[in-house]
Amino acid sequence: MKKRSIIAVSDSSEGGFSLRRRKLLKLSPLLFLAGCDISPSGGTESFLKTFQAFNDWVQGKVFDPTKLAPEYSDTDLTPEDGFRVNGYDTDTPDIDLAHWTLTVEGMVTKPGQYTLQQIMSLPKRVMNTRHCCVEGWSMIPQWGGTPLRDFLHLVGADVNAKYVAVECGDEYYTSFDMPSILHPQTMLCYEAYQKPLALEHGAPMRIVMPTKLGYKSAKWVNKLVVANDKPGGYWEDQGYDWFAGI
């Protein structure tokens, strides 16, 4: 797969830049230099990585963990038959849904494996939020699941840790800053349109994070690792925006 580097800028629910994104662009017009191709010689790559790190730092500073993404009425929902499947060059993984567990490791007091039933026993949240793809399209599905911060409380996670890494059943991986993980709309999602997730949409469990671009909403999640060392991600390691805020 060809490597590329982009600055992830997405439309807001009103079709323009979000206020947070406008603030970011005012802070650093040079961030668009991260849109250049990575050079195998190393000099350009190092230069772009520096700006990418600065981009992540700025986005983290302007991120408000209490500000909610817009939520929509049922009349605004994308029809269920328009619930788009998007991915990368991999097949849908072969997952044993009946025996699936979520493994938790790292800075937690109760590491181990947690069943779908244990997660579903936590308070449920239903929300209609916009899913924005880095490719430029968006949709408004109805999600159902448990806030990830409630699950972290269950497993005794150290919420003063800096990061949470995520591994998936298709070998996809990504990672997040802790404030984004603790955001009230960040969910471990097991339903869409009041039905169990279909396998192509990430069953039995995916992350939904409406404050970030779609490649952060990892499907087929099977492991969380709480840590202080910054992890990478499948796309992020190829030059995509790590913070990926909207």
* 35-71 pLDDT tens trace: 344 444 455 456 556 666 767 777 877 788 889 999 9
What pLDDT, on a 0 to 100 scale, did the predictor assign at position 55?
72
CB 211 within 8 A of CB 132: no
1.10.10.10, 3.60.110.10, 3.90.1150.10, 3.90.420.10: which CATH number matches 74-238?
Answer: 3.90.420.10
| Sequence spans of domains, the chain | 74-238
CA angle 131, 135, 138 (to 5 degrees): 25
Q: Tell me which of 39-53, 60-74, 107-121, 217-231 is least confident.
A: 39-53
**Of all residues in the chain, what percent carry a pLDDT higher than 90?**
67
Q: Catalogue the long-range contacts made by 25-30 (C-beta closer than 8 Å, 24 or more residues apart).
A: 27/58, 27/62, 28/54, 28/55, 28/58
Residue 60 in tokens = 């983290």
Residue 117 in tokens = 């039933």
Closest CA to 124 of 60, 211, 196: 196
CB 22 within 8 A of CB 16: no
